[in-house]
Chains A and B, each alone.
Chain A
Amino acid sequence: MPPILEVAGLRAGYGPIDALHDVSLTVDEGEIVTMIGANGAGKTTTLMSVSGVVRPRAGRVTFGGNDLRTFPAHEIVKLGLAQSPEGRKIFPRLTVLENLQMGAFTRKDPPGIAADIEKMFGMFPILNERKGQAGGLLSGGQQQMLAIARALMARPKLLLLDEPSLGLAPQIVTQIFGVIRDLNQNQGMSVLLVEQNARMALKVAHRGYVLETGRVTFSDKADVVLNDPRIRAAYLGE
C-alpha cells in the first residue's frame, strides 16, 4: 500500500530564507511517525508546508494520492488532514464549544458533528465542564486538549501534532499521549508527531525522523532511533 503521506525533497521558507532545504519523509496508513530535532530545525515549517499554510518552494507533498501543492490550505482539511498547531492557537474569544465547531467547519453533517463533540467530551471531560467558557481562559493543558479535540473534529485520516506536550505537567502529557495511542490503535488514525520530548515521542511512535537545519539526517524504526548513541547524546540528554 502506498504511504498516506509522502513528502519528497521539500524546500520551503520565509522571505529570502529557506528554512527547509531537503526534507523527505513518509507516513504509512495506521502509523505513528515522529519527527524530532532541535529548536529551529524546521519541524513546524514542515507541518505547515504539509497543511498548505507555508507554500512549498520545491519538492512534492502527496496525501492520499493528491498533490497537495495544488490545493489551498482550506481545502486540504477536506481531504482528511488536520493539524493541532504549535502553541495551540485556540480561538481565545470563542467558547470551547465554538472552538470544537470550528474544527468541523468543513463538515456538513450536523448530527455527526454533534455526536463527535460528545465523543470529545468523553475523551476530555474537562472540556465538557468548560464548554461555555472562552477558550482563552483555559489553562495550558486544557488548551492543548482543546487543540487536539478541535483537530479531531475534522475526522482526519492523518493528524499532525506539533509539540503537544510543550509546557505541560507530566500527568497531562501522559494523558495526551494515551489519547494519541488510543486513536491510532482503535481508529487506525495515522499521526505525524513533532515533539521536544523525544523520549516520550519515540516510545509512542513506530518510526522516527531526525531533522537538522532543514534536512532529514537520520530515520529508522522508533526503537532503533531511541537506542542510537548519537541520538541519545544529542536529543535525549545522555
Chain B
Amino acid sequence: MIFAADSAFWQAFTQQTIDGLAFGALIALVALGYTMVYGIVELINFAHGDLFMLGCFLSLTILAAFGLGGLGFDATVKDPSPVYVAVILLTCLLVAMPFCGALNFAVDWVVYKPLRTAPKLAPLVSAIGVSFIFMNVGLFWGGAQDVNFPNLIPDTNLMSEGSGIRFTYKDAMVFGVTVPLMIGLTLFVQYSRLGKAMRATAQNPTAAKLMGIDTNKVIGLTFAIGGALAGAGAVVYALKVNTISYTMGFQNGLYAFTAAVLGGIGRIPGAVLGGLIIGLVRYYGSAYVGETWAGALIFGILILILVFRPTGLLGSTTREKV
C-alpha cells in the first residue's frame, strides 16, 4: 500500500477526529442553550452549565429508579440487552429534557423576566446567583465527591478488528442523540411559525411586538428549548463519561460558552461549529501537543479568532442598523 508508512498516523488521526467530534457534538448541545438565550435577551446565562450538571444528577436518580446505582452497586452493567438500554436512555431523555427545559423556563419567568428592562448587569449578576444555587442543589443531591455513573452502554467497538479504529456503542449513542436534536432545532427555527417568531424577537423585539408576537412567551420558549437541549446533553454526557460531580457544570459550561463565542454568539450554526472545533482541538491537542495543553490551546485559539473576527466565525462582521 502506498500510504502504508503513514497508516498508523492516519489511524490515530481518525481516532482523534471521532473522539473530538463526539465530545464536540456534546459541547455543541450545551452551547446552543447559551447562544439562543444570548441571541434573544443578550444575557450570558452563567447558570446554564449548572443546569446541565443538574440534568446529570437527575439521570443518576432515574437510573437508581431502575435499580442501577446506589450503595454497593457495581458501576458496570454486564451485558445489558439492547432493548433495556434503549428504554433507559429514552426514559432519561424524556424526563431530563422536560425537567431542564421547565427549570430554565421557570428561572427566566421568576428571575430574568422582571429584569428585562433593567441594565444588563442586573440579570447577569442574577444568573451568577442562580448558578450558585444550582451548584448547591447539586452538592446536596450528589455530595461533594465525584460520583460514578453506571456504565450502562457497552464500550464495544463497532468497527472491524483490523481497522484499528474504535467507534463504540457509546459514540453511536452520542451522535444518535445529538445529531437529530441539532437537525430538529435547525428545522424548527428555520421553518416553523414560532421559530421565525423567535428569530424575529431576537433581531428586533420592539418590531416583534408590533407584529403581534408575545415576546415574553417567545423568550420563555427559548429558555425552555435551550434547557431541554442541556438536559439531553446531560444524559448523553453521563452515559458516555460515567463520572459526574456538582462542579462539572463549570468546566463544561465554560467549554460550551467558549464554543458559542467562537462560532459567533447568538448564531445557532455558530454554536454547533464552535462545539465541534473545541472538541477537535481538545483531542488533537491532547494527542499532538500534550494532555495538559488542551485547555490552553482551546482558549489560545479562541483569543486568536476573536482578535481577527471579534464577532466569532459566523457572526456578522458589519454592524446592523438599529
Contact = CB atoms under 8 A, between A and B. Distances in A.
Size range of the chain A interface in the assembly = 20 to 34
Size range of the chain B interface in the assembly = 20 to 34
B211 interface: yes
Interface stretch (B71-79, B152-160, B174-182, B197-205): B197-205
A230 interface: no
Interface centre among A78, A93, A150 (most CB of B within 10 A): A93
B220 to A, nearest CB: 13
B11 interface: no
Interface string B206-228: 11111111110000000000000
Interface in A88-112: 89-94, 98, 101-103, 105-106
Contacts of B209: 51-53, 73-74
A74 B316 CA distance: 29
Given A74-B212, A74-B213, A102-B197, 11 more contacts: A53-B206, A83-B210, A90-B207, A91-B199, A91-B207, A93-B316, A94-B199, A94-B203, A98-B196, A105-B193, A105-B211
Given A51-B210, A136-B320, A91 B215 contact: no
A85 B196 contact: no
A87 B196 contact: no
Contacts of A52: 209
Given A74-B215, A92-B320, A136-B320, A53 B210 contact: yes
Given A98-B196, A101-B196, A89 B207 contact: yes
A72 interface: yes
A150 B211 contact: yes
Contacts of B204: 89-92
B206 A102 contact: no
Interface string A207-223: 00000000000000000
B320 A85 contact: no
A73 B209 CA distance: 6
A73 B193 CA distance: 19
B214 A74 contact: yes
A98 to B, nearest CB: 6
B322 interface: yes
A75 interface: yes
Interface of B: 193, 196-197, 199-200, 203-204, 206-215, 316, 320-322
Contacts of A92: 203-204, 320-321
Contacts of A151: 210
Contacts of B208: 91, 102
A102 B200 contact: yes
Contacts of B213: 74, 102, 105
Contact of A154 (B200, B212, B316): B212
B222 to A, nearest CB: 16
A32 interface: no
B210 A73 contact: yes
Nearest to B218: A74
A82 interface: yes
Contact of A91 (B203, B214, B316): B203
Contacts of A76: 212
A205 interface: no
Nearest to B190: A98
Contacts of B203: 91-94
B206 A94 contact: no
Contact of B212 (A85, A89, A105): A105
Contacts of A180: none
A198 interface: no
Contacts of A78: 212
Given A73-B209, A83-B210, A105 B199 contact: no
A51 B320 CA distance: 25
Given A53-B206, A92-B320, A72 B211 contact: no
A77 interface: yes
A197 to B, nearest CB: 21
